[in-house]
Amino acid sequence: MVKPPVSTIGDMPISPHASAPVMSQVHVGAATHCPYCALQCGMYVANGEITPREDIPANSGGLCQKGWTAAELLESPERLTTPLLHGNPVSWDEALDYVAARIEAIRAEHGPDAVAVFGGGGLTNEKAYQLGKFARVALRTSQIDYNGRFCMSSAAAAVIRAFGMDRGLPFPITDIARAGAILFAGGNVAETMPPFVRHLTAMRSRGGKLVVADPRVTQTAKMADLHLQLTPGTDLALALGLLHIAIADGYADLDYLAARTTGFEEVRTSVSVWWPERVERVTGVPVAHMREAVRILGEAERAMVLTGRGAEQHAKGTDTVTAFVNLALTLGLPGREGSGYGCVTGQGNGQGGREHGQKADQLPGYRKIDDPAAREHVAAVWGIDPADLPGPGRSAYELLDALGTPRGPRALLLFGSNPVVSAPRAGHVTSRLDALDLLVVSDFVLSETAAMADVVLPTTQWAEEAGTMTNLEGRVLLRRQAAAPPPGARSDLEILRGLAERLGCGEKFSADPRTVFDELRRASAGGLADYSGITYERIAAETGVFWPCPDNGGDPHPGTPRPFLDRFATPDGRARMVPVDHRLPAEDVDEEFPLYLTSGRVLAHYQSGAQTRRIRPLTQASSEVFVELHPHLAERLGVSSGDRVRVRSRRGAAEAVARVTASIRPDTVFMPFHWEGVNLLTNPALDPMSRMPEFKVCAAAVERCDDRERAA
């Protein structure tokens, strides 16, 4: 069972079954949120039991299997409760003294950029903020980035270019039910975040139509009225083709385009060469299906275009999302109630984690680190000279790739991430981690990455600490403490303070989440992601507050559920349409590697599986890495379901169990990324704007394991 709970927000006791704080009682259980995906389903946690909350619109009473079983994680026998130094248990003082001394020595020898920090999209806003501040103030390093770069950075780059601001869904999730049509490109919410499906089902039960673009017949595609089963890596061509048809068939909303956008004429000219038959040849999607998709979208009174990782995790991900945004703008959707474009964010705090400073080029409030006014504002909050703030650093893969090289960092502090499993070209990343002088990992179990570390710091988990998370709608939510941590575990905020003390600036780093959040509010004030008017009490009373929410003093700002209704966040208030063009995947198929390899998630697991692979019902549901093959391909290879096969790419090889299914294209194989395997093969080619690696397509070959062994 979970330890007796301490139900507080910061120091304030909270009623378990009411959304408002109660000052005078301590209750059992707490209203909090799931530790996993960006839907951030609301749940009550009491004595090891989880029940869903009805008051959070994202899930309103629903949870998926991962959420229902999340409390098991707190009791995992694999929990770490003692710091490890070179694999041996040591006291906290020994561990932190060692880390601080090694940091000092490495800095003295190689300079501040020799120490790097890597964060995660699952960290609370408070931790993400504190990590960015710790890197810049305590370490004075520019070398910080995080695994959210691997999640939705392409969508973020595209919508900042188009709308001037990046908020995943710029509307409440409940707007989905009001839409008459939705095009969803590259998202499989039926498996990745099942309670999302209820919004799509509500839309369809009112007569709305769902169009899904995906190379696989996923569970989400099975729900769709129309499935566009495109070739991996051709989402951009598909979007250009749909836009071409929308203009040619008279669905362009010319009044809206004139009033609310710039650049339409250039975009119209650029898509004129993407006539439907050409797009069919590139994507494999029949012209009739494309025309039907455009008709469904164009004739709906309210419609939405949504993208997920399938369209975004490419070396041309930013341009792909830009093309889908151009389609939405041409149809006159963004900034209209009940319509719009949205990116369905994946990681638990994928939204908030990208707003407050753990990105290489960013300061809190979604400020740019090379903006003099931003530097001045944040430096004043941090009590330092703006000149002492480092500049931009390397993006996530570039940072991992540089570790241990003559010009790269010699030490890495890693929080909330498991790159040995989740980074592209993971075998190479592992060798870079191995080359470091110092690897420090904060984790609650010995993940694949933690197992390599010089120092492992055992940390608390989601239900054992308070903090805020920002869900895929941009709604800031409160995670309340629902259970006492095991003796020996410390929160990441405590760890950062402990290190800062040893580095001579402990007074600047609080370990109390509420204190850190109040500082974050001040640091974000006036920025794009302005949280200054949001308090723990308001979140509790209102079941979340949408940013931007400036501090208006005595007249509280209501928060901003739909930020683009009147104007976009660009200097002239208009959305910017940018012409983009299709290009081949960074690595196309050839004779040696004749198949497209794509990757994704399964229902039972989350991200690198460091959490969900330790929960019995989830491992029973899905226990090992597999590869999906079409029956025609399987027959050609002499492979049956259950056979062990070897999948190879130019970067390595991985074994997996074959699953023969007609739900995948004959030219494509699919592997989930929750286990070590597929990322040994993926291509780290980067998007030039977002620095997103090309996770979703590379060239591969498959063979039965025994064939290769016989040949050897």
- What are the residues binding ligand SF4 (CB under 6 A)? 34, 36-37, 39-41, 59, 63-64, 66-67, 193-195
Q: Residue 120 or 365: which CB sits closer to ligand SF4?
A: 120
List all residues 6 or more positions away from 457 whose beta carbon is below 8 Å from its beta carbon: 83, 95, 440, 441, 442, 443, 490, 495
Structural element, H or E, at residue 440: strand 438-443
Gap between the Cα atoms of 687 and 674, Å rounded: 23
The least CB distance from residue 435 to ligand SF4, in Å, is: 35
In angstroms, give the least distance from the CB of 33 to ligand SF4: 7
Least gap, CB of 152 to ligand SF4 (angstroms): 15
Rounded to 5 degrees, φ, ψ at 698 are: -155, 170
Instruction: Quote the radius of gyration of the chain (alpha carbons, Å).
Output: 24
Tell me how far apart the alpha carbons of residues 103 and 115 are, in angstroms, rounded to a whole number. Answer: 7
Report in angstroms how near the CB of residue 174 gets to ligand SF4 at its nearest: 16
d(CA 315, CA 318): 8
Query: Which DSSP string do the residues of 541-552 spell out, in sequence order?
Result: HHT-EESP----
Which residues are paired to 368 by β-bridges? 362
Q: Which is nearer to ligand SF4, 68 or 275 (CB)?
A: 68
Identify which of residues 32 and 362 has a Cβ nearer to ligand SF4 in the complex.
32
Shortest distance, position 71 Cβ to ligand SF4, whole Å:
12
Taking the CA atoms of 600, 605, 610 and 611 in sequence, report the sign of the dihedral they define.
positive
Query: Which residues are CB-neighbours of 55 under 8 A, at least 6 positions away?
Result: 19, 31, 42, 543
Backbone angles phi, psi at 400, to 5 degrees: -60, -40
Give the C-alpha separation, 479 to 226, whole Å: 38
> What is the number of other CB atoms lying within 10 angstroms of the CB of residue 441?
26
Nearer of residues 67 and 677 to ligand SF4, judged by Cβ:
67
For the bound state, the minimum distance from the C-beta of residue 352 to ligand SF4, rounded and expressed in Å, comes to 14
- Residue closer to ligand SF4 (CB basis): 66 or 209: 66
Could you tell me the smallest distance in angstroms from the CB atom of residue 475 to ligand SF4? 13
Strand pairing report for 411-415 and 438-443: parallel
Helices 92-110/492-502 angle, 10° precision: 60
CB of 313 to ligand SF4, least distance (A): 19
Give the residue among 28, 105, 42 at the shortest CA–CA distance from 70: 42
Looking at beta carbons only, is 264 or 462 nearer to ligand SF4?
462
- Measured from the CB atom, the residue of 67 and 233 that comes closer to ligand SF4 is 67
Residue 3 beta carbon to ligand SF4: minimum distance, rounded to whole angstroms: 22
- CB closer to ligand SF4 out of 155 and 189: 189
The answer to whether 456 and 90 have CB atoms below 8 angstroms apart is no
Instruction: Give me the least distance between CB of 621 and ligand SF4, in Å please.
Output: 13
Cβ-closest position to ligand SF4: 67
Closest CB 220 distance from ligand SF4, rounded Å: 13
**Residue closer to ligand SF4 (CB basis): 52 or 170:** 52
Least distance from ligand SF4 to the Cβ atom of residue 464, Å: 17
Distance CA 34, CA 86 (A): 33
Nearer to ligand SF4, 326 or 461 (CB): 461
Core vs surface per residue 144-153: b (16+ CB within 10 A) or e: bbbbbbbbbb
Q: Which is nearer to ligand SF4, 34 or 423 (CB)?
A: 34
Nearest residue (CB) to ligand SF4, 70 versus 702: 70
Residues in the chain: 712
Give the DSSP letter string of 508-544. Answer: G----HHHHHHHHHHHHTTSSS--TT--HHHHHHHT-
Q: Crossing angle of helices 372-382/513-524, nearest 10°?
A: 150
Instruction: Give the integer Cα–Cα distance in Å for 200 and 644.
Output: 37
Structure tokens belonging to residue 694:
């090309």
